[in-house]
Amino acid sequence: MRIETNCVQAGYTPGNGEPRQIPIIQSTTFKYDTSEDMGKLFDLEENGYFYSRLQNPTCDAVAAKICALEGGSMAMLTGSGQSANFYAVFNIANCGDHVVASSTIYGGSFNLFSVTMKKMGIDFTFVSPDASEEELNAAFRPNTKALFGETIANPALTVLDIEKFARVAHAHGVPLIVDNTFATPINCRPIEWGADIVTHSTTKYMDGHGCTVGGCIVDAGKFDWLKYADKFPGLTTPDESYHGVVYAEKFGLEGAFITKATSQLMRDFGSVQSPQNAFYLNLGLESLHVRMKRHCENAQAVAEFLESSDKISWVSYCGLKNDQYHALAEKYLPNGSCGVVSFGVKGGRKAAESFMKHLKVAAIETHVADAHSCCLHPASATHRQMNDEELVAAGVSPDLVRLSCGLESAEDLIEDIAQALEAI
Ligand SMILES: *Cc1c(COP(=O)(O)O)cnc(C)c1O
């Protein structure tokens, strides 16, 4: 089926007389007739449900839909985008290992990697998303276990050259993990360009209504763990906590990564998405293809207006012909990128604050990527502890405003921006 049909229908096919909408299986546990039946589940001998910390039918149906949208082999939901990225990396990198990541990734991921996972003994090297192949190669070490980047970075809006990153990762015998939150599979499917693992904060466009925090991991099912068996012992040697199962042998390339992440990491860390939240997420997914188109149209119109305004010093949006990432966007995002635009207001920090105070349609929020337009001035909110010099070093200029274009009328958004610029 085409992606529009998969948005609506993939992952759940009701039988005769069964509910049309996915049932919310709001149950922690599942009943069995004999202990032997249940024992087979604990030995990973048979597929089935026993406890919703590991798996739940509602969550699995929604994961299967996202898997179909991304063209993967297997997927799992997580309680947040943070836990999705944590699991995706920690599933293959242990204490003493090393990971290479793009430097413009989401601030939450940057903290997770550079502070919290560092405390767990995993070292990260951050490289520019624009790095050459030679520069990328130079960041690798013998103990490197993954390369990580974002299709469209939040909020830097850099576009990842996925093919190049995949080529470098594979030359070093490690998978490429791509956070595809901002593009969504409607606008880019990283697996088609060589990515091995795709992650999402489903909190953003996938839910799309600002109502549920969640995440997802999709495995392409193509990375050959056994070929690099020494690098990935967690997948290629017996797991004593499951009676010696070897994931890559028992579940194959298609199933090993997600089965291990579910049966070890979800079992032990428990960052589950609730069935109720998975239900809301699925409602969002049913219209993802319709909404993304509108988000992109609105952002394009707003970006073009901003570019033409003499009150704006710069605009960053890869849909603009003059944007630094326009050529990469034409290759990877031919149908649109996302609804988020960054720009600088002439007059710096004070002017940006004044501009935002006068907006009536876009509200001031830390959130992005839902139906309601919203904006953030990082210098006075998320990055307010930094002085102007520190802001520039972090890639966030004092005048930067991040505007997430929602699903309202583009004309209303533009008129609102115009009157707020006049009012500065
Ligand atoms: C928001 C976001 C995350 C974190 O997701 P949460 O659902 O907030 O935990 C990760 N990556 C990107 C690109 C994001 O925008």
pLDDT digits (tens, 9 = 90+) for 113-130: 999 999 999 999 999 999
Question: Is residue 123 in contact with ligand 1, taking CB distance under 6 Å?
Answer: no
Question: Is residue 201 in contact with ligand 1, taking CB distance under 6 Å?
Answer: yes
CA–centroid distance, residue 200 to ligand 1 (Å): 7
Instruction: Say what the pLDDT of residue 398 is.
Output: 82
CA–centroid distance, residue 288 to ligand 1 (Å): 17
CA–centroid distance, residue 282 to ligand 1 (Å): 18
Q: For residue 182, give the ligand 1 atom closest to its CA.
A: 13
CB of 230 within 8 A of CB of 16?
A: no
Helix axes 288-308, 275-286, angle to 10 degrees: 70
Best residue among 86, 154, 200, 201 to mutate for probing ligand 1's pocket (most ligand atoms within 8 Å of CB) is: 201
Instruction: Say what the pLDDT of residue 41 is.
Output: 83
Question: Is residue 215 in contact with ligand 1, taking CB distance under 6 Å?
Answer: yes
What residues form DSSP beta bridges with 100?
Answer: 125, 147
Place of tokens 């991304």: 70
Hey, whose CA ends up nearest to atom 15 of ligand 1? 154
CA distance 369 to 69: 19
Low-confidence ranges of the chain (pLDDT < 70): 390-395
Hey, whose CA ends up nearest to atom 8 of ligand 1? 81
Instruction: Say what the pLDDT of residue 396 is.
Output: 73
401 φ, ψ (degrees, to nearest 5): -115, 130
CA–centroid distance, residue 105 to ligand 1 (Å): 10
Question: Is residue 108 in contact with ligand 1, taking CB distance under 6 Å?
Answer: yes
Hey, whose CA ends up nearest to atom 6 of ligand 1? 81
Name the 3-class secondary structure at 193.
helix
Question: Is residue 212 in contact with ligand 1, taking CB distance under 6 Å?
Answer: no
CA–centroid distance, residue 89 to ligand 1 (Å): 15
Best residue among 77, 113, 181 to mutate for probing ligand 1's pocket (most ligand atoms within 8 Å of CB) is: 181
Name the 3-class secondary structure at 146.
strand
Instruction: Say what the pLDDT of residue 241 is.
Output: 87
Place of tokens 């599933």: 91
Question: Is residue 373 in contact with ligand 1, taking CB distance under 6 Å?
Answer: no
